[in-house]
Amino acid sequence: MATEIRPGADLPAVPTRPTIAPTSGRVPAAAPDPAPAARTTKIEARDLNLYYGSFRAVRDVTMDIPANKITAIIGPSGCGKSTFLRAFNRMHELAQGARMEGRILLDGVDIYDRSVDAVDLRRLVGMVFQRPNPFPTMSIYENVSAGLRLGGGHKPTNLDAIVEDCLTRAALWDEVKDHLGDPGTSLSGGQQQRLCIARALAVDPEVILMDEPASALDPIATLRIEELMLELRGSYTIVIVTHNMQQASRVSDQTAFFSMGEDRAGYLVEMGQTATIFTNPREQLTEDYISGRFG
């Protein structure tokens, strides 16, 4: 059952599926969705411009991210893919001099509305980074359960079951179940990345952002992450940034291609069904990029 988290309220000890909702007393930027289950669009970016100081890294992007599907973002280095992704859970605002224009709606709610708490939002919109980053002083078990403990104060009674479930869904349980007390950092790179995915799942997110999650991994570990993404699809909305075209075409339902203007601002060239983007793109620029002529 969905729990509404209001800014300033205590977070629940056991993760439920929180929803962000503007508080009463002011006119919300967007009305909360009356029927979230019926939504096919999870995130809407509208006229988004992202800056670092006076430098515009992302220009005028409008995009719909479908619910419970995998959306891939591709494009040459420096075209603002990571910057764009970080705007979805308000991590962009943590960078020095960062600024944003435009809007991002999650289930119809403006995530930059003053009433939305960024910490609540980041529970709903989790992130997996390029380099696996397990908490260095924590065991495998503690890595997965850390978000649950932090969120609530007292630990949930069914912590063991939650940890097992998340490690199972992250396709890691069988490999670690007999040494859950070992340090998270004692695992291989591919296992560490699955541990980070288990950690992200533990707080019961609805969206998972992945920024080149397999680029530091060998081909076998990469395939495991891809299999895992395909298993998670349907239950989570996944947005993945990748430089690996085969990966984008193997895992994603739709693909967005970004490029860079002369002012070095990244912009969306086109977006569509992955099969179409890779076989019959509308734009010559996309064709040139996917066939390896630039980037």
Please give the residue ranges that form the binding site for Mg ion (CB under 5 A): 82
Whole-number minimum distance, CB 281 to Mg ion, in Å?
A: 22
Whole-number minimum distance, CB 55 to ligand ATP, in Å?
A: 6
Closer by beta carbon to Mg ion, 167 or else 209: 209
Distance between CA atoms of residues 172 and 132, nearest Å:
14
Q: Residue 187 interacts with ligand ATP (CB under 6 A)?
A: no
Q: Residue 196 interacts with ligand ATP (CB under 6 A)?
A: no
Closer by beta carbon to Mg ion, 113 or else 212: 212
Which partner, ligand ATP, Mg ion, none, binds residue 24 by CB below 5 to 8 Å per kind? none
Site stretch for ligand ATP (CB under 6 A), options 73-81, 132-140, 150-158, 274-282: 73-81
Q: Residue 57 interacts with ligand ATP (CB under 6 A)?
A: yes
Which partner, Mg ion, ligand ATP, none, binds residue 83 by CB below 5 to 8 Å per kind? ligand ATP
Q: Residue 245 interacts with ligand ATP (CB under 6 A)?
A: no
Helix H, strand E, coil C: the string for the chain is CEEEECCCCCCCCCCCEEEECCCCCCCCCCCCCCCHHHCCEEEEEEEEEEEECCEEEEEEEEEEEECCCEEEEECCCCCCHHHHHHHCCCCHHHCCCEEEEEEEEECCEECCCCCCCHHHHHHHEEEECCCCCCCCCCEHHHHHHHHHHHHHCCCCCCHHHHHHHHHHHCCCHHHHCCCCCCEHHHCCHHHHHHHHHHHHHHCCCCEEEEECCCCCCCHHHHHHHHHHHHHHECCEEEEEECCCHHHHHHHCCEEEEEEECCCCCEEEEEEEEHHHHHHCCCCHHHHHHHCCCCC
Residue that is written with structure tokens 């800014």 in the block: 7
Which residue from 11, 28, 52, 244 is in contact with ligand ATP, where contact means CB under 6 A? 52
Which residue from 80, 134, 147, 281 is in contact with ligand ATP, where contact means CB under 6 A? 80
Closer by beta carbon to Mg ion, 58 or else 105: 58
Which residue from 5, 61, 71, 83 is in contact with ligand ATP, where contact means CB under 6 A? 83
Q: Residue 78 interacts with ligand ATP (CB under 6 A)?
A: yes
CB-based contact 100:118 (threshold 8 Å):
no
Q: Residue 129 interacts with ligand ATP (CB under 6 A)?
A: no
Distance between CA atoms of residues 2 and 223, nearest Å:
33
Distance between CA atoms of residues 286 and 55, nearest Å:
25
Which partner, Mg ion, ligand ATP, none, binds residue 57 by CB below 5 to 8 Å per kind? ligand ATP
Which partner, ligand ATP, Mg ion, none, binds residue 80 by CB below 5 to 8 Å per kind? ligand ATP
Which residue from 42, 59, 81, 169 is in contact with ligand ATP, where contact means CB under 6 A? 81
Whole-number minimum distance, CB 81 to ligand ATP, in Å?
A: 4
Q: Residue 79 interacts with ligand ATP (CB under 6 A)?
A: yes
Which residue from 19, 45, 61, 82 is in contact with ligand ATP, where contact means CB under 6 A? 82
